[in-house]
Amino acid sequence: MRGVVVLITLAACSGGSSSGKVCVPDNPAFWPDGCDTLDCRGVNCDVTCVTNTTCGTLDCTSSPQCRIDCQPGVTCEKIDCTNAQTCFVDCEDNANCDVTCAGAQDCVENCRPDTECLLRCGTTPQAQCHFDMCPTVTDCGNGTYACNRACP
C-alpha cells in the first residue's frame, strides 16, 4: 500500500469581492500568498507577515486577541484592531506598519528606531493605545500618532 498524502491549508480564501481575495487564517498562521485581506473579526488571531513582503489588510475588528509580527522589510498596509480587547503589533527592522486601535481595550505597537509606524487611536486613551520602543512620538492630531515618519 502507498502512503496517504495529507495537505494542511494555512488559510481558507475566497475571491470575487471588490477588495480582492479575503482569507480566514488558521492560528497561528503565515500571511497566505495572494491574500489581500485576512479576516479575523471577532476571533483570536496570530499572524506573521514574512520578511520582505507586503501584507494587505488585517481585520481584527472586535477580536479578543490579535497579534501580528511584521518581520524585517515588511509593509503591513492596514491593521484594524477597532474595538479589539488586545492588539499587539511587532513592527520589526525596516518595516512599515499602519495600525488602527479606536475603541481597543489594550493596543501596543512596537516600533523600532529604523521602522516607520502609524498608530490611529481615535478617542482611545494613550494608556490603552500606545507605542512601545518608539524614540520620539509625533502627535498628528485627532488621536493619530507617528513614529519615525511624517504624519499622514
Per-residue pLDDT tens digits for 25-34: 876 789 988 8
In a domain, 62, yes or no: yes
Are 74 and 49 spatial neighbours (Cβ–Cβ below 8 Å)? Answer: yes
Cα distance between residue 105 and residue 87, in whole Å: 8
Written as nine digits, the cell of 125 is 486613551
In a domain, 3, yes or no: no
φ, ψ (nearest 5 deg) of residue 22: -110, 130
- Domain extent, residue 67, equals 19-147
In a domain, 86, yes or no: yes
Are 60 and 84 spatial neighbours (Cβ–Cβ below 8 Å)? Answer: yes
Look at the chain and report how many structural domains it folds into.
Answer: 1
- The model carries a pTM of 0.85
- Beta-ladder partners of 76: 55, 97
pLDDT digit string, tens, across residues 30-77: 998 889 999 999 999 999 999 999 999 999 999 999 999 999 999 999
In a domain, 120, yes or no: yes
- Beta-ladder partners of 72: none
Rounded to the nearest 10°, the torsion over CA 7, 53, 14, 68 is 90
In a domain, 72, yes or no: yes
In a domain, 14, yes or no: no
What's the confidence (pLDDT) of residue 19?
A: 56
In a domain, 77, yes or no: yes
In a domain, 37, yes or no: yes
